[in-house]
Amino acid sequence: MVNPPLSTNPVPVSPDSWKQAVCAAWHAAGNRLTEPRVRVLDAIIRYTTPFSAEQLYADLAQLADPPGRATVYRTIEQLSTSGWLARIHTQLGEAGYVPSLPGHLHHLICTNCGVVIAFAGCALDDLLARLSTQTDFAIEDHLLQLYGRCANCKKQC
């Protein structure tokens, strides 16, 4: 059986539209959008590569009225759980976060500059079904992150 071509479409996540969408989703869910949370969101959209929770907290600590560590970590957890942040694993084994959109997305990660490109489309469904049947393993989820060089870094080589 021949599988149909995989539709892989980059999913652009622009900082300003991401922040607006997060704010709208939080309001719709009845969550309060406090000033400390807004500062966390503003800091997140300034990153161009994956950031750690501790890095975000340290950067925010430089502000005149920084949000507390608990606020930073709870906000990251809430964003991650709801799909607005994706957890990225670098080739060095470090974990970080990048703004994302809710839904089933995967990521291309540049090993040179660290830029992350989200894309939709996954051809693993058939493989996962076969694995589940062959191993009697109830697969609940999967993570696909591909490492390589982005267009800008390829030009520099």
101: CATH? 1.10.10.10
Domain count, the chain: 1
Answer yes or no: is pLDDT of 60 > 90. yes
Answer yes or no: is pLDDT of 92 > 60. yes
* Least confident segment among 33-37, 108-112, 118-122: 118-122
pLDDT band per the 50, 70, 90 thresholds, residue 1: very low
| pLDDT higher at 104 or 77 | 77
Full DSSP string of the chain: -PPPPP--EE----HHHHHHHHHHHHHHTT----HHHHHHHHHHTT-SS-B-HHHHHHHHTTSSSPPPHHHHHHHHHHHHHTTSEEEEE-TTS-EEEEE--SSSEEEEEETTT--EEEEE----HHHHHHHHHHHT--------EEEE--HHHHHH-
Answer yes or no: is pLDDT of 6 > 70. no
Answer yes or no: is pLDDT of 4 > 60. no
- Tell me whether residue 1 is in a domain: no
What mean pLDDT comes out for the span 96-109? 91
Q: What is the pTM of this model?
A: 0.82
Answer yes or no: is pLDDT of 33 > 80. yes
What mean pLDDT comes out for the span 63-83? 95
What is the model's pLDDT at position 142?
Answer: 85
- Tell me whether residue 2 is in a domain: no
User: The domain containing residue 92 runs over which residues?
Assistant: 10-156
- Tell me whether residue 87 is in a domain: yes
